[in-house]
Structure 1
Amino acid sequence: MTSGFFDFLHVNRDRTFRPKKRFPVGTLRYNLHKQAQATLHAGLDLRQAVQLPRDENFDDWLAVHTVDFFNRINLLYGTISDVCTAKSCPTMSGGSRYEYLWQDGERYKKPTKLPAPDYIHELMEWIEVRINDENVFPVDVMIPFPPNFKQTCKKILTRLYRVFVHIYIHHFDRLVAIGAEPHANTLYKHFYYFVMEYSLVAPKEIEALKDLTERLIPSSSTHVRRGQN
């Protein structure tokens, strides 16, 4: 990351999505989050950094990463949000081949075409509701994760991936202009390694950024997916 990126983020902070969820200090998941962050800052290869630590529970690992990616992708989108408008981006798309329709079963009961900023606003609000619901993302380790927890995280992460698609395909020049490209690339690689390691985003979704992925991660076409039961 360059100083230009940080300067732009500071100036544009009123237009930037803020991180909206943290695990309380002293909890097991907070400690696991800090452990994951320390691993990243230690310069460990990202492929190794996503490996589940010995004797840790996978759902805990999934929870802290899902929350972390939500926060970080929020902030990344915030850096380009001033140029992502209903006029410049009338659809939530990734070029001419990919268009995403919004459906949440509540306000939008059927797949609905929205301008990209509206789609992303609805998406972030939809995710926030879930990660702040302690019946879905429990803070107390005595409260078990719900049986469909992995499926919920898969849906969250799949939809977050579409934000990467839109940013890279429609706003890449903006990332370069503000010096955010290295930051975005590192975040994307971290996200990619994590979701592929545990089969959390379908290959058909990943296809939208195939060229970028092969440039950043040359071995991506042969990356082994482990998955979790």
Structure 2
Amino acid sequence: MALCLGQVFSKDKTFRPRKRFEPGTQRFELYKKAQASLKSGLDLRKVVQLPEGENINDWIAVHVVDFFNRINLIYGTVSEFCTERTCPIMSGGLRYEYRWQDGDDYKKPTKLPALKYMNLLMDWIETNINNENIFPTRVGVPFPKNFQQVCKKILSRLFRVFVHVYIHHFDSICSMGAEAHINTCYKHYYYFISEFSLIEHSELEPLVRKERAMTEKICN
């Protein structure tokens, strides 16, 4: 999938610089193992399963960073079509609206244009995954007790990017001939968060409702 995404989506349109794993680290080795499984054509339900003997938090950390990179690439490709005029509200159709709150500059849920929301979201995720107190990279340094809770929040917010792209920009994705690749990325993401119960089912509703049953079409 990584190769296909790189071929279809323009790398110079990545919304944020890619977060990379340091060669020689356990995370880097896990990342290579995950990528090899993806490219082998194995069932994605099996690909996301925790390898025997590996630490679950390391496995989750690798995937959170990888999904951040992939979803950045996807959104960066359609961001030129996602303007304050075309998308004045961060939403998933008429039924779902996402408001930004970070506890700092935005202490209350705030209605924003989709592009502004995406900028704040990617900044917030980048800050978290670069924070050694949350995503430690040194050998022997333990993960914090709230690590999985932070990852759940990151993944639930990244899901909103899929919602917005599928509902508001899928025509652009199709015009590039890239729908199969975003579908594979979403399928990988969906199986992973399902395997480890990382998102509340209610969060998934925008893409599983009968009239928007993208998840059922793609993942079943």
TM-score per shorter chain, which class? over 0.9
Question: CA deviation digits over 1:189-210, x for unaligned, max 9?
Answer: 0000000111101111111101
Q: 1:53 Cα deviation (Å)? A: 0.2
Alpha-carbon distance in structure 1 between the residues aligned to 2:5 and 2:61: 32
Q: Figure out how many residues of one structure are paired with residues of the other and give that number.
A: 215
Match of 2:116 among 88, 108, 118: 118
Q: Is 1:207 paired with 2:211?
A: no
What amino acid sits opposite 2:135 in the alignment? F
Q: 1:144 to 1:8 in 2, by over 3 A?
A: closer
In structure 2, the gaps of 5 or more residues are none
Contact in 2 for aligned 1:5/1:180 (Cα 8 Å):
no
Alpha-carbon distance in structure 2 between the residues aligned to 1:3 and 1:149: 31
Aligned counterparts, 1:64-83, within 5 A: 64-83=62-81
Alpha-carbon distance in structure 1 between the residues aligned to 2:68 and 2:139: 21
Q: What TM-score do the two structures reach when normalised by structure 1?
A: 0.90
Q: 1:217 Cα deviation (Å)? A: 1.8
Q: 1:169 to 1:38 in 2, by over 3 A?
A: same
Residue 34 of structure 1 is matched in structure 2 by 32
Residue 104 of structure 1 is matched in structure 2 by 102
Q: 1:141 Cα deviation (Å)? A: 2.4
Alpha-carbon distance in structure 1 between the residues aligned to 2:146 and 2:179: 35
Per the alignment, in what secondary structure is the counterpart of residue 159 of structure 2?
A: helix
Contact in 1 for aligned 2:50/2:59 (Cα 8 Å):
yes
Residue 146 of structure 2 is matched in structure 1 by 148
Contact in 2 for aligned 1:4/1:179 (Cα 8 Å):
no
Alpha-carbon distance in structure 2 between the residues aligned to 1:3 and 1:157: 22
RMSD: 1.7
Q: Is 1:9 paired with 2:17?
A: no
Percent sequence identity is 60
Could you list the structure 1 runs, at least 4 aligned residues long, displaced by more than 4 angstroms after superposition. Answer: 1-5
What amino acid sits opposite 1:192 in the alignment? Y
Q: What TM-score do the two structures reach when normalised by structure 2?
A: 0.94
Alpha-carbon distance in structure 2 between the residues aligned to 1:156 and 1:48: 23
Residue 52 of structure 2 is matched in structure 1 by 54
Contact in 1 for aligned 2:125/2:154 (Cα 8 Å):
yes
Q: 1:178 to 1:65 in 2, by over 3 A?
A: same
Contact in 1 for aligned 2:79/2:115 (Cα 8 Å):
yes
Contact in 2 for aligned 1:20/1:128 (Cα 8 Å):
no
Q: 1:20 Cα deviation (Å)? A: 3.3
Q: 1:48 Cα deviation (Å)? A: 0.4
